A and B are shown apart, each in its own frame.
Chain A
Amino acid sequence: RKEVEQDPGPFNVPEGATVAFNCTYSNSASQSFFWYRQDCRKEPKLLMSVYSSGNEDGRFTAQLNRASQYISLLIRDSKLSDSATYLCVVTPQTGANNLFFGTGTRLTVIP
């Protein structure tokens, strides 16, 4: 079983739409959780960390449910510039910061 599972999409949404991505992780001991963004043929870049209390950064809201081992990302008022692949990422355990990535979910925002 993969450490992190994501729906690969693609998600094609119109500008202004709200879109939600979900992922699940298999290791209940996982410690840290992130969403990374990767543009085509570029390196991944940290979008935001994810906390149990939920966190928001402008149009982006991330949520963690430890009981269900489930992570979500909500993007409101989608912009053309949001088109990218969104990678769900976890670190396995305390004392280790190697990252486990999902396959990524491709988002295309359409004018």
Chain B
Amino acid sequence: DAGVTQSPTHLIKTRGQQVTLRCSPKSGHDTVSWYQQALGQGPQFIFQYYEEEERQRGNFPDRFSGHQFPNYSSELNVNALLLGDSALYLCASSFGLAGVGEQFFGPGTRLTVL
């Protein structure tokens, strides 16, 4: 049973560029959440997708957008990259929109913006 997978594992971009990160949830899960973890900080909630719609959003600018596909996989897009966007981007999957079950995290994508 595959867990949460993310691609790519590492990415280097320059300021102003755009990036797309991908996530496949754990088998049986239908909800995907994205988090940003800066160095030395805890993960911060970006947004959550369920039934192909953004259901909740954290305090992130519109440069951060996403999508969920019918197979429950998800993408995170960041436009006009800033140096401060350098971080580990984590995807977490769970079952149900308000489920109390455990959220499982993927290994993350480490984004470096130069």
Contact = CB atoms under 8 A, between A and B. Distances in A.
Contacts of A42: 107
B33 A44 contact: no
Contacts of B105: 43-45
Contacts, number: 52
Interface of B, secondary structure class, is loop
A44 B42 CA distance: 10
Given A42-B107, A45-B105, A46-B102, A99 B90 contact: no
Interface of A: 4, 6, 8, 32, 42-46, 87, 94-104
16 contacts: A4-B42, A8-B40, A42-B107, A43-B108, A44-B105, A87-B42, A95-B98, A96-B56, A97-B97, A98-B56, A99-B45, A100-B45, A101-B43, A101-B44, A103-B42, A104-B42
